Amino acid sequence: MKISFNWLKDYVALNQRAEETARLLTSAGLEVKGVESFLGLKDKVMEIEITSNRPDWLSHVGVAREIAAVSGGKLVYPEWQNLEKKGKAAFVRDRKKILPIEIQDTQYCPYYSACLLENVVFGESPDFIKKRLNAVGMRPINLIVDVTNYVLLELGQPLHAFDWDHLSQEKILVRRAREKESLRAINGTDYPLNTRDLLITDGARPIALAGVMGGLESEVSLKTKNILLESAYFSPAVIRRTSQRLGLSSDSSYRFERGVDPVGVDTGRERAIRLICQYAKSVGNVSVVFKGGRLPKKTGTIQFPLGEIRRILGVDIPSQKVSQYFRALGLSVKPAKKGTVTVGVPSFRQDLTRPVDLVEEAARLYGYDRITETLPDIEPVYIEESCLRKTEEMARETALGSGLNETVTFSLISEKVFEKLAVPLLAVTRVVNPQNKELTLMRPSLFPSLLEVVKTNFYHSSSNDVRLFEIANVYGPEVNQALPKEELTFAVAVAGARNSHWLEKGRKYTFFDVKGVFEEIFERLGIQEIKFVPYENPFLEQAFSMECQGMALGVLGKVSNPVKSFYDISSDAFIGQISLEKIAHAARFERRYKLLPKYPASRRDMALILGENVPAGEVIDHVRSLGFEFMRAIDLLDFYRGGQIPTGKKSLAFSIEYRSDEKTLTAEEVNDLHAKVVESVTRHFSAQLRS
Amino acid sequence: MKDPSETLSSDAIKNVLDELEAQSSHRIEKVSDNVQLETLRIEYLGRKARLSLVLSSLGSLDKEERGSAGERANRLRRQIEEAIRQKAESLKGSAKKEGVDFTLPGVRRERGVTHPITATIREIARIFETLNFEWVAGREIETEFYNFTALNIPDDHPSRDSFDTFFTQGGNLLRSQTSTVQIRVMEKRKPPLRIIAPGRVYRPDTVDASHSFMFHQIEGLMVDDRTTFADLKGVIHLFLRALFGKDSKIRFRPHFFPFTEPSVEVDVSCFICRAKGCSVCGQKGWLEVMGAGSVDPAVFQAVGYDPKKVQGFAFGLGVERICMLKHGINDIRLFYENDLRFLKQFA
């Protein structure tokens, strides 16, 4: 909201520079975003951000009141009464005119008042009004419209002026709109209404969308002679609902939805009448006030235990000081039973209802910067890190160590890739009001997001080396509107090739670069017996499910061609993801030390020529299954195809470790044992030994 | 049978040993390549070397002479051997120096880079963990109750303006702030509580250089029977000093949040210009970094705590904002694009 310094000076003395006033207000909670000078107007204007709990600040008088409170000044309230005593008042109210005010729903509209001003001759506003409106960014139109705006900005009460000759003149009926009813507002737009909107009607036709905007037809212009001036109190929630639904916010609705000062409804109306009478060329009859309904409770009291200050703030403020602050804010303070005061709350502070609200007021005026910093004095709290957190950190560390770069991508994704792959999305959660129309899906997998990042990097980067991982939730469906499952998931994507180094040649990434990351994570989490089981996945062409004791933990594989072409990825890409939640259950973090072997181990190599279709894993499993006590480990050394190896065959070389816990095995013992292993393997797999 | 002509006399032995003693180490030292060194080695230690002749001639000397000359000859032999060995070593070293280009890049096991958002969350969490706060995780898809009602944000109320929200088909919503975790934790546990809850939050904002519809927040909550607003100041100041430097000053500005009272916005003195005023702090010398306050009694009531018996504070901060300030990043969208040229700057 814009506040003019010249205008403020009508209500409070400004003894300090504009910047100092801005600082004072900011430290009181009215954040001044900036101060602007208007050279032509010889004025300065502040842009103030006003929090939604303080509608009383949405006016010049309201801001002046705060300045008076924090600087110890005095507030001068504008003249608003229209006294009727002959000789002293400008006019005598016309009592002959009667306008019934009927309110159909007093929850929606607790109070409505109006006053008829007849034969008003008017033109432009006086200079001071025009200047002030201009300074705060409002265009002057004519005296009547300007006065309603002026009072809104001065006192915070929204008013509306109707051209009386466009009304039926029989009554004012405030009612809820009917289904499919509509109103053409002053801005020329037709607004479709429903039964939760509130209308002002002249008994026959709607003339205003209550509290939000007047109707175009009854708008006041320079041709208007007779004016009906409205001042009312509408339900804040009703005004907000309508304004939000129609996307139509006005200075008026902004104040009504935050709650206007009930006292200001009558004050504001009278202030406007006074200004019109003062600045119009002439005014004929001014009617009595036509009213309907009742204003909500205007004032309140709070029993305030002064000890709350110490308890909540941790600082002692003398009670005299506290009372002084409250009075400066326009509250009344009376002593009640011991340690408690009765605080009277004026109508413009509807936000103050509880002792804690007063604690804040006391703290604000005392000054937050004066509160001494302390550290909490309580017993230590025992903290146990969750398995999921530990698992997450272990996975992240492993991925980083494997040279993968961490990404953070949006949880909301487009459905397009699923459409392209003809994958039906049945068990998913969707957003109904997306910010970006495409991003509607709470992702059920991290694959689309990571592939998007692969695409971005191939597009931007000179490098062909893309290695990524992400740790984030994937989301299940909302079964019967229940909250969906959120599962912390770890995903990897590797594409392109490792760059060459002068000592190490570069090479293309393979399936095994991704597999190795998962193997290492499993090892570090103490999860054994992981099986890689062939599996169907719409994104992958060589897909494997990673399983532990029958439980599927995740998938990995090579990105299929349709998916690659969807993401414009030309080189091979490999991708995998696992549920961290699932592996956290199986994880084992503690490590027991095992005695180091006393006697040395011996290794023997075994190079085999086998059928193409014999998996290396089966050879290893077979060797282990032989159950030789001294056979301690078997590692794959080499895998080779082509060259001297006949077609349909491949070569696998293993290194096998032999060791006894009781003695140093002799070369002969090792050779004998190894011969048995080799013999068994060659027989079982019809393999040949390579020399 | 030895050829008597090859046997040296006692005097000759002495002459040879004198000469070798005087020259050998000097001559070895002067050698500049392996060929010269080999020639010298043969000359001094070879089968036909004079020292070998000395040793083989020792037998012809009488017992006393034999002892002392033998000892001397053997010591000299060891000295020459050692000098040649050392020379060979040093020649090897200089050969290496000449043959290898040490400006070639070293071999690196290129480690991956932590995303700056994760790194910032960790840095902040570590500070609070030293203050005995516990890291807890919370749901992202939530109900109206946890995101609004329990946090004292009524329906049809302007306090909702700051919390534009995504809704799901099933009538749930994406949390618009991590304060939801306060409610989840307080429902389950009794005070004392000290938690921080980092995570993703969602608001349907138009995306630009400083707004994103998804971003990260860290919520903090401390509840017991005595923690005050003054304690909040102490904790926040310690935290911001740890994050932005020991000379950082803080400013508490009154503000409004539905779930705290008193509520504040916290400014930290600009660490870039040392509060003198620069483009980052808008010439103000202060950077707005977080919101905080004493927990509103209405929130305690919503979770079944007695507001007369418990008290404490809550705070919330935007991770992206902190990260952008710390690294001078000017566009929030960079975080979610994951361009490796961006990410690798934070290695």
Provide the pLDDT for residue B97: 60
Q: Pick from B104, B112, B341: which is nearest to A399 by CB?
A: B112
Query: Within an 8 Å CB–CB cutoff, is residue B229 touching chain A?
Result: yes
Out of A44-48, A554-558, B58-62, B70-74, pick the least confident.
B58-62
Domains of chain B: 4-99 (no CATH), 116-346 (3.30.930.10)
- C-alpha span between B275 and B191 (Å, rounded): 39
Are A121 and A33 a contacting pair, CB within 8 Å?
no
Sign of CA dihedral B197, B199, B205, B210: positive
Interval B292-319: pLDDT, tens: 999 999 999 999 999 999 999 999 999 9
Q: Pick from B110, B134, B204: which is nearest to A381 by CB?
A: B134
Domains of chain A: 2-71 (3.30.56.10), 93-293 (3.50.40.10), 300-369 (3.30.56.10), 387-586 (3.30.930.10), 602-689 (3.30.70.380)
Instruction: Check A501 against B261: CB less than 8 A apart.
Output: no
Looking at A527-592, list the stretches that DSSP marks H as alpha helix, in order from N- to C-terminal side.
Answer: 561-566, 580-586
> B48, exposed or middle or buried, with CB in 10 Å at 0-12, 13-18, 19+?
exposed
Mean per-residue pLDDT, A456-468: 88
Query: Within an 8 Å CB–CB cutoff, is residue A374 touching chain B?
Result: yes
Query: Within an 8 Å CB–CB cutoff, is residue A407 touching chain B?
Result: yes
Q: Pick from A311, A312, A433: which is nearest to B167 by CB?
A: A433
Query: Within an 8 Å CB–CB cutoff, is residue B261 touching chain A?
Result: yes
Chain B residues within 8 A of A434 when measuring between CB atoms: 166, 204
Mean per-residue pLDDT, B183-209: 94
- C-alpha span between B273 and B276 (Å, rounded): 5
Provide the pLDDT for residue A170: 86
Mean per-residue pLDDT, A489-501: 94
Are B333 and B194 a contacting pair, CB within 8 Å?
no
Interface confidence, given as ipTM, is: 0.90
> A679, exposed or middle or buried, with CB in 10 Å at 0-12, 13-18, 19+?
exposed
Query: Within an 8 Å CB–CB cutoff, is residue B288 touching chain A?
Result: no
Chain B residues within 8 A of A388 when measuring between CB atoms: 137
The model's confidence at residue B52, banded by pLDDT at 50, 70 and 90, is confident
Chain B residues within 8 A of A580 when measuring between CB atoms: none
Instruction: Check B254 against A29: CB less than 8 A apart.
Output: yes
Mutate to test the interface with A, among B102, B108, B115, B281 (most CBs of A within 10 A): B115
Instruction: Check A405 against B340: CB less than 8 A apart.
Output: yes
Mean per-residue pLDDT, A309-323: 95
Instruction: Check A457 against B338: CB less than 8 A apart.
Output: yes
Count chain A–chain B contacts defined by CB atoms under 8 A. Answer: 255
Mean predicted lDDT score pLDDT of chain A? 93
Instruction: Check A368 against B254: CB less than 8 A apart.
Output: yes
List, as ranges, residues 308-327 from B with C-beta within 8 Å of A: 311
Interval B149-178: pLDDT, tens: 999 998 878 777 777 899 999 999 999 999
Chain B residues within 8 A of A390 when measuring between CB atoms: none
Question: Helices A251-258 and A236-246 meet at what angle, rounded to 10?
Answer: 140
Mean per-residue pLDDT, B235-242: 96
The model's confidence at residue B121, banded by pLDDT at 50, 70 and 90, is very high
Interval A236-270: pLDDT, tens: 999 999 999 999 999 999 999 999 999 999 999 99
The model's confidence at residue B89, banded by pLDDT at 50, 70 and 90, is confident
Task: With CA atoms as reference, report the closest residue to B152 among B12, B305, B302.
Answer: B302
Provide the pLDDT for residue B98: 63
The model's confidence at residue B2, banded by pLDDT at 50, 70 and 90, is very low
C-alpha dist (Å) from residue A519 to A445, A522, A577, A656: 21, 5, 12, 21
Are B131 and A399 a contacting pair, CB within 8 Å?
no
Rounded to the nearest 10°, the torsion over CA A112, A118, A124, A130 is -30
The model's confidence at residue B71, banded by pLDDT at 50, 70 and 90, is confident
Mean per-residue pLDDT, B257-275: 93
List, as ranges, residues 13-52 from A with C-beta within 8 Å of B: 26-29, 31, 51-52
> Above 60 in pLDDT, residue A210?
yes
C-alpha dist (Å) from residue A553 to A445, A469, A487, A494, B311: 13, 17, 12, 20, 43
Query: Within an 8 Å CB–CB cutoff, is residue B235 touching chain A?
Result: yes
The model's confidence at residue A426, banded by pLDDT at 50, 70 and 90, is confident
Query: Within an 8 Å CB–CB cutoff, is residue B306 touching chain A?
Result: no
Query: Within an 8 Å CB–CB cutoff, is residue B252 touching chain A?
Result: yes
- C-alpha span between A543 and B44 (Å, rounded): 73
Chain A residues within 8 A of B105 when measuring between CB atoms: 501-502
Chain A residues within 8 A of B264 when measuring between CB atoms: 368
Instruction: Check B338 against A379: CB less than 8 A apart.
Output: no
How far is B153 from chain A, CA to nearest CA, in Å? Answer: 11
Q: Which DSSP helix (H) or strand (E) runs through B238?
A: helix B229-244
> Above 90 in pLDDT, residue A41?
no
> Above 60 in pLDDT, residue A87?
no
> Above 90 in pLDDT, residue A384?
no
Query: Within an 8 Å CB–CB cutoff, is residue B238 touching chain A?
Result: yes
DSSP A230-254: EEEE--HHHHHHHHHHHT---HHHH
How far is A138 from chain B, CA to nearest CA, in Å? Answer: 23
Instruction: Check B168 against A389: CB less than 8 A apart.
Output: no
Give B330-334's long-range contacts (Cβ < 8 A, gap of 24+): B330/B209, B331/B209, B332/B209, B332/B210, B332/B211, B332/B212, B332/B215, B333/B207, B333/B209, B333/B212
> Above 90 in pLDDT, residue B81?
no
Are B190 and B225 a contacting pair, CB within 8 Å?
no
The model's confidence at residue B1, banded by pLDDT at 50, 70 and 90, is very low
Looking at A191-305, list the stretches that DSSP marks H as alpha helix, in order from N- to C-terminal side.
Answer: 236-246, 251-258, 262-279
Query: Within an 8 Å CB–CB cutoff, is residue B192 touching chain A?
Result: yes
Interval A16-31: pLDDT, tens: 888 899 999 999 999 9
Pairing of strands B214-224, B193-202: antiparallel
Q: Six-digit token pair at A124?
A: 């432009």
Q: What is the DSSP letter of B169?
A: T
Instruction: Check B171 against A481: CB less than 8 A apart.
Output: yes
> Above 80 in pLDDT, residue B182?
yes
> Above 60 in pLDDT, residue A89?
no
Mean predicted lDDT score pLDDT of chain B? 90
Mutate to test the interface with A, among B101, B127, B146, B169 (most CBs of A within 10 A): B169
Q: Six-digit token pair at A160?
A: 């509306």
Q: Six-digit token pair at A685?
A: 């797999």
